[in-house]
Amino acid sequence: MSNLAVTKRKKPKGNFWVAVPFMLPALVGLGVFVIAPGIRGVILSFANYNVFTGQADFTGFANYIRMFQDVRFLNSFLVTMEYVLINIGIQTVVALFIAVLLHRFTRSHIIKGIVLLPYLISNVIVAMVWYWLMDYNLGLINSILDALSLHKFTFFSEQTAMPSIALINVWRHMGYTSLLIFAGMQAIPKDVYEAAAIDGASEWRIFRSVTLPLLRPVLAFVLVITVTGSFQIFDTIAVTTKGGPVMSTDTFSIWIAREAWGNNDFGYASAISVFLMVLLSVIAFAQTKIMSANQSDLDR
């Protein structure tokens, strides 16, 4: 994997004090703006907290017990998982495909720019535009289907809303993700491909046996980022389906926001947040472990 793991030279042990000034600003930022409020939030998850009056009545594990028994808990878990699987699944495949296209078929900076363009538009605007384009009655997509005498498609029914939201976000993020993968592809030396080509391997074979394995570390890193972000999906849903229809897009973040702001139940919202953080940390830990255990097949 990394030169640092592979090299057998002696490294200076215990560079702790050298590391401190490097880490200091980041640690201060982390401590003040993430850990401190985070701990406060965790403490409040054990209470009924009214953000406006500042009053906190400690109730022990009541919020957590309530959460696990809440019908919305299982619902949120399932719809969030549904979103993550569809979104990450499709997005990663598409981004890989785009990265290969950029790698093999074009050098143009303009095309790279076009591919990144969706990411430049804010989440909220993207959601609004697609919500209109996908509208059953006034959307362009359905009017085209209609003109071709095909059946119109309800993009935001109880079954289709979440996949539609997932696709909207794939559109926005596919270029961005492909750029991250593309950067990783740059590092694969040409001679590996030369060897494969000399052996007469087909395009697909090269991709499967050369590119993909060598991309694994980069892919793993990209997956940690995208999966963690995907679980926290909020903006797109908040502007379009708002958790509906019939709770089919009521993801964790939407539920947390509603409990915190709508129901003024910050303690309960904190409990749900804590659950989400633990879940994501476990997933991220598992992913990083797989990543560290992953030796590069490059072997040089």
Which region, judged by CB under 8 A, interacts with other proteins, from 2-10, 61-69, 76-84, 85-93?
Answer: 2-10
Applying CB under 8 A, does 91 fall inside the site for other proteins?
no
Applying CB under 8 A, does 276 fall inside the site for other proteins?
yes
Minimum CB distance to other proteins, residue 28 (Å): 6
Pick the binder of other proteins from 62, 78, 145, 247 (CB under 8 A). Answer: 247
For other proteins, the binding residues in 144-183 under the rule CB under 8 A are 154-158, 160-161, 171, 175-176, 179, 182-183
Quick one: how many helices (H) and strands (E) in the chain?
15, 2
Minimum CB distance to other proteins, residue 58 (Å): 18
Minimum CB distance to other proteins, residue 13 (Å): 7
In the complex with other proteins, the residue whose CB is nearer, 85 or 195, is: 195
What are the Cα distances from residue 138, in Å, to 134, 135, 150, 244? 8, 6, 16, 20
DSSP string, 62-118: HHHHHHHH-HHHHHHHHHHHHHHHHHHHHHHHHHHHHHHHHHHT---HHHHHHHHHH
Site string for other proteins, 192-221 (x = CB under 8 A): -xx--x-----x----------x--xx--x
Applying CB under 8 A, does 13 fall inside the site for other proteins?
yes
In the complex with other proteins, the residue whose CB is nearer, 9 or 148, is: 9
Contacts by 98-104 with C-beta closer than 8 Å and gap 24+?
98/174, 98/175, 98/178, 99/178, 99/179, 99/181, 99/182, 99/185, 100/185, 100/207, 100/211, 102/178, 102/182, 103/182, 103/185, 104/203
Query: What SS3 class is residue 58?
Result: strand
Applying CB under 8 A, does 184 fall inside the site for other proteins?
yes
Length of the chain: 300
For other proteins, the binding residues in 95-114 under the rule CB under 8 A are 97-98, 101, 103-107, 109, 111-114
* Distance of alpha carbon 87 from alpha carbon 95, whole angstroms: 11
Minimum CB distance to other proteins, residue 32 (Å): 8
Applying CB under 8 A, does 57 fall inside the site for other proteins?
no
In the complex with other proteins, the residue whose CB is nearer, 57 or 203, is: 203
Q: Assess contact for 300 and 6: CB atoms under 8 A.
A: no
For other proteins, the binding residues in 27-46 under the rule CB under 8 A are 27-30, 32-38, 40-41
- Comparing CA positions, the residue from 202, 211, 177 lying closest to residue 94 is 177
